[in-house]
């Protein structure tokens, strides 16, 4: 099948499955996986292969960069101990438990370790797509864990494959060195890439070129880390987190607006296509598996899925109580979350792209030229576990979240947004006389700007008053809504006038596009909820892509 045909099929599948998911109220990945499985039985599509290099280089850097740049560093800092331990100790424990279970069910130790390492990490894109029913804080923690644990799992996987294939004989000290290289090298590669990106950005003013730099950044970090055998995944995460902090200071508004639109659409399509491609792998994995191993494979899928959930739940409960015994400080003695919330976190450990890429990357032959033992079974079990965690756990997660009565954080985010918007406008008003004097602004112009900013501040204060049941706030918002509606109506007339001039061939299409861009910005400002009267204070960034 031609690549162009595959691209059209994947894009159509993403569109139709997302529409169906919104229509039926189910997670879109469930539909996307099902669609991929069905498409996998079509002969032309059954020959489509998903090279692990494509997942590791084409998909992961872009997806992990967007996940990192939209993750709250504040929440990561406040929960860094738990995140680091879940990204390391939990991965090692899961890989070991899966290896023990696989060996007990007939796999030699080598293939069992490879399977355990491949299936150990949770997937950031799957967590981001499926855990939206949880409060923002918990989604952030789950995503942060998923961003870190890939590096741990891939080091374990590389060691397991090397020993099983007979290409490496490593002792404990050498394995520890590989872990240090993966983490320290990945962090170093990320920091070097960030430094280079900042240097280039100082010389680039054009929004298009600025976004080319943005696109190159995660891929450069990934390649640089891989060149020194470090963790490319961790390098991309470091770049994303660094840009989330420095980006608001160094990236121009037009560049940022263009970039957010690009990344939202791109990651939405990549994410959806990846789920379809995972589904496509199942029919091939079944057909490649010898008939006598199919029953063993199905049993392994069920057992391994149960093991990874059980290990995750056991770790979460042990982590809470063991560390409270070791750390007797008063703030540690009081549990931060209850046992029901730990159950929710335990059920949110979805597997995805990294596990599939690792399984597919298992070499076909050992160093002696013999076929790699149980390679087809490893791929089948890994694919089956990924699908089972997504198809079974994803629909259950909203039910479990309601059972856990998780505290909502929407009110907290709303308060923080109101604080940011109100403080920004109030500080601008306070500084207006000094700024106007420094710029030599005409007093009449300064008065007009003051009036506009005072109106915006009144609108923001009215939003808070409305939340508190204040009638004055409601009346002011009603007037602001009329201002907005009138502005939008006039914008529609302006837009119609410009289009008519183009149709009459009195202006060129390029002029239409330029004027239309300005009108679009004005319309977005008027349509913003936070500032019905228009203005920057009410603008909000685009939401993270749904899948």
H or E segment to which residue 68 belongs: helix 60-69
pLDDT, residue 112, reads: 95
Overall residue count recorded for the chain in this entry: 547
How many of the other CB atoms lie within 10 Å of CB of 150?
A: 30
Query: What phi and psi, each to the nearest 5 degrees, are found at residue 135?
Result: -60, 155
Pairwise CA distance, residues 385 & 165, whole Å: 24
Pairwise CA distance, residues 323 & 311, whole Å: 17
Whether 71 and 144 have beta carbons less than 8 Å apart is answered as: yes
Query: What phi and psi, each to the nearest 5 degrees, are found at residue 371?
Result: -60, 140
Whether 236 and 193 have beta carbons less than 8 Å apart is answered as: no
Tell me the HSE value of 401 on the side-chain side, using a 13 A CA sphere. Answer: 19
Whether 122 and 146 have beta carbons less than 8 Å apart is answered as: yes
Dihedral class, residue 299 (left if φ above 0, else alpha if ψ from -120 to 50, else beta): alpha
Pairwise CA distance, residues 245 & 233, whole Å: 19
Tell me the HSE value of 366 on the side-chain side, using a 13 A CA sphere. Answer: 15
3-408 CATH: 1.20.1530.20
pLDDT, residue 533, reads: 42
Task: Residue 122: name the closest of 279, 399, 311 by CA.
Answer: 311
Whether 148 and 190 have beta carbons less than 8 Å apart is answered as: no
Task: Residue 37: name the closest of 386, 283, 379 by CA.
Answer: 283
Tell me the HSE value of 517 on the side-chain side, using a 13 A CA sphere. Answer: 8
H or E segment to which residue 312 belongs: helix 291-326
Whether 236 and 218 have beta carbons less than 8 Å apart is answered as: yes
Q: Residue holding tokens 């009638």?
A: 471
Q: Is 205 helix (H, G, I), strand (E, B) or coil?
A: coil
Pairwise CA distance, residues 206 & 306, whole Å: 52
- Estimate to the nearest angstrom the gap between the alpha carbon of 421 and the chain centroid: 26
Radius of gyration from C-alpha coordinates of the chain: 27
How many of the other CB atoms lie within 10 Å of CB of 403?
A: 11
Q: Is 134 helix (H, G, I), strand (E, B) or coil?
A: coil
Task: Residue 376: name the closest of 278, 285, 277, 283 by CA.
Answer: 285
Task: Residue 452: name the closest of 355, 536, 541 by CA.
Answer: 536
Whether 306 and 102 have beta carbons less than 8 Å apart is answered as: no
Q: Is 368 helix (H, G, I), strand (E, B) or coil?
A: coil
- Write out the residue limits of the CATH 1.20.1530.20 domain(s) in the chain: 3-408
3-state helix, strand, coil in the chain (%, to 5): 80, 0, 20
- Token pair for 125: 């894109």
Helices 207-227 and 253-288: angle between axes, nearest 10 degrees: 40
pLDDT, residue 105, reads: 93
Per-residue tens of pLDDT for the chain, all 547 residues = 567 788 899 999 999 999 998 888 778 888 998 999 999 888 888 777 777 777 778 888 998 898 888 888 887 888 888 888 888 899 999 999 999 999 999 899 999 999 999 999 998 778 877 766 777 778 888 888 888 888 889 889 988 998 888 766 767 788 888 888 888 999 999 999 999 999 998 888 898 999 999 999 999 999 999 999 888 889 999 999 999 888 888 888 888 888 888 999 999 999 899 889 888 888 888 888 877 788 899 999 999 999 999 999 999 988 877 766 666 554 544 456 678 888 988 898 899 888 988 888 888 888 888 889 999 899 999 999 999 998 888 888 888 888 888 766 666 677 777 888 888 888 989 999 999 999 999 999 999 989 888 888 888 888 776 665 566 667 777 887 888 889 889 999 999 999 999 999 999 988 988 898 888 888 887 876 444 444 443 333 333 333 3
């Amino acid at each position: 099948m031609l690549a162009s045909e595959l691209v059209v099929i994947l894009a159509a599948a993403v569109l139709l499955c997302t529409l169906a998911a919104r229509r039926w109220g189910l997670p879109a990945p469930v539909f996307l996986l099902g669609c991929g499985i069905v498409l996998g039985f079509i002969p032309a599509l059954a020959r489509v292969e998903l090279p692990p290099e494509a997942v590791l280089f084409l998909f992961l850097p872009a997806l992990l960069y967007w996940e990192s740049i939209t993750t709250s560093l504040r929440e990561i800092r406040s929960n860094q101990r738990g995140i680091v331990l879940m990204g390391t100790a939990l991965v090692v424990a899961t890989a070991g438990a899966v290896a023990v279970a696989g060996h007990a069910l007939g796999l030699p130790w080598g293939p069992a370790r490879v399977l355990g390492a491949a299936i150990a990490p949770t997937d950031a894109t799957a967590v981001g797509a499926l855990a939206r029913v949880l409060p923002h804080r918990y989604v952030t923690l789950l995503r942060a864990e998923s961003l870190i644990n890939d590096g741990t799992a891939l080091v374990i996987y590389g060691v397991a494959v090397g020993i099983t294939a007979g290409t490496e004989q490593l002792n404990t000290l050498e394995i520890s060195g590989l872990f240090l290289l993966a983490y320290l090298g990945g962090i170093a590669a990320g920091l070097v890439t960030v430094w280079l990106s900042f240097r280039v950005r100082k010389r680039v003013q054009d929004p298009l070129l600025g976004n080319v730099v943005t696109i190159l950044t995660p891929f450069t970090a990934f390649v640089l880390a891989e060149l020194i055998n470090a963790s490319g995944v961790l390098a991309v995460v470091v770049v994303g987190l660094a840009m989330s902090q420095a980006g608001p200071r160094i990236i121009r508004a037009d560049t940022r607006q263009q970039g957010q639109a690009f990344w939202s659409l791109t990651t939405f399509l990549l994410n959806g296509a990846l789920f379809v491609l995972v589904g496509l792998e199942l029919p091939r994995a079944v057909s490649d598996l010898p008939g006598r191993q199919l029953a063993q494979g199905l049993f392994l899928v069920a057992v391994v899925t149960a093991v990874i959930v059980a290990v995750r739940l056991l770790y979460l409960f042990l982590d809470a109580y063991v560390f409270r015994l070791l750390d007797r400080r008063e703030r540690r003695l009081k549990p931060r979350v209850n046992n029901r919330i730990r159950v929710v976190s335990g059920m949110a450990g979805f597997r995805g792209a990294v596990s599939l890429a690792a399984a597919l990357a298992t070499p076909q032959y050992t160093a002696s030229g013999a076929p790699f033992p149980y390679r087809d079974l490893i791929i089948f079990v890994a694919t089956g576990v990924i699908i089972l965690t997504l198809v079974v756990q994803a629909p259950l997660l909203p039910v479990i979240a309601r059972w856990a009565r998780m505290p909502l954080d929407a009110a907290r985010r709303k308060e923080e947004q109101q604080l940011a918007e109100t403080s920004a406008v109030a500080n601008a008003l306070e500084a207006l006389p000094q700024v106007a004097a420094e710029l030599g602004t005409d007093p009449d112009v300064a008065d007009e700007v003051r009036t506009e900013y005072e109106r915006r501040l009144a609108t923001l204060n009215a939003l808070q008053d409305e939340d508190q049941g204040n009638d004055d706030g409601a009346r002011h918002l009603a007037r602001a809504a009329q201002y907005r509606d009138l502005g939008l109506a006039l914008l529609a007339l302006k837009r119609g006038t410009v289009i008519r001039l183009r149709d009459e061939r009195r202006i060129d299409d390029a002029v239409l596009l330029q004027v239309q861009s300005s009108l679009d910005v004005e319309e977005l400002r008027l349509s913003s909820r936070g500032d019905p009267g228009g203005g920057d204070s009410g603008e909000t960034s685009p939401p993270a892509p749904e899948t």
